Amino acid sequence: MKTVLITGGSSGVGAATARRLARDGTSVILLARSGDALQAVAKEIGPNATPIPCDASDPDAVAQMAGDVIDRFGVPDAIINSAGAGQWKTVQDTTPQEAMAMMQAPYFAAFNTAHAFLQGMLTRGSGVIAHVNSPACFAPWPSSVGYAASRAALRALHEAMSQDLVGTGVHSCHVVFGEVTSPYFDNNPGTAEKIPMLGKMIPKMSMEACADVLADVLARPRAQVIQPFMLKPNVLTARLFPRFARWALRF
């Protein structure tokens, strides 16, 4: 991997992954809406990092960004879609505007970025697009309507892309992490208290551990990776026994 583009690169898992890849000599292109935070991360990483302020949920902004990136670096070898946030609320506590904003990232940000570079990857015959997701894409818990819907859309994007990319040399990878020690919970007060008991039983992952997983996914692409290991039985239960999973996640 010579060049990797990372959305949500100004903080959290995106920034940690940029640091991890840059240490191995990879050129990382960092995208985020926050220009100051993006510049700070790029300055910390050094010459291997290029910050590009861009709202990935804006298709026109992404198209312009993609043209600039291709002119300067060519089509990236890989894309990591890690942009995304969203509050945990019920339908009645979520405004339509908030629901639309939560769908912008991760779903539309991932779609727009993949759309902008996918044809170049297909022409080249190689590329990896990794989507960073949450267990909510498999089994929502109470008070997670907008968040879970956007995560389910991201999972569906990956599944559909995987069908379209068979035999092309381009890979879509779905990477699901449990609770991560990131700024998300600091930026969304009250959210941590809504984590179901099942979720609290699963070990937390550091941002650096997530970065190691993503670096491995780029080196060895596979359709789906779920970490930590203890999360896998929960996901399997949700898929095989959805009624039981819905009941268990209420506590």
Show the CA angle centred on residue 169, arms to residues 165 and 175, nearest 5°: 65
At 153, the pLDDT band (50, 70, 90 cuts) reads very high
- Between 227 and 1, name the one with better pLDDT: 227
pLDDT in tens, 111-150: 999 999 999 999 999 999 999 999 999 999 999 999 999 9
Domains within the chain, CATH numbers bracketed: 3-248 (3.40.50.720)
pLDDT in tens, 19-78: 999 999 999 999 999 889 999 999 999 999 999 999 999 999 999 999 999 999 999 999
Q: What are phi and psi of 152, to 5 degrees?
A: -65, -35
pLDDT at residue 184, as a whole number: 77
pLDDT at residue 85, as a whole number: 81
pTM of the model as a whole: 0.95
pLDDT in tens, 189-240: 777 788 999 988 999 999 999 999 999 999 999 999 999 999 999 999 999 9
pLDDT at residue 186, as a whole number: 75
pLDDT in tens, 163-180: 999 999 999 999 999 999
pLDDT at residue 159, as a whole number: 98
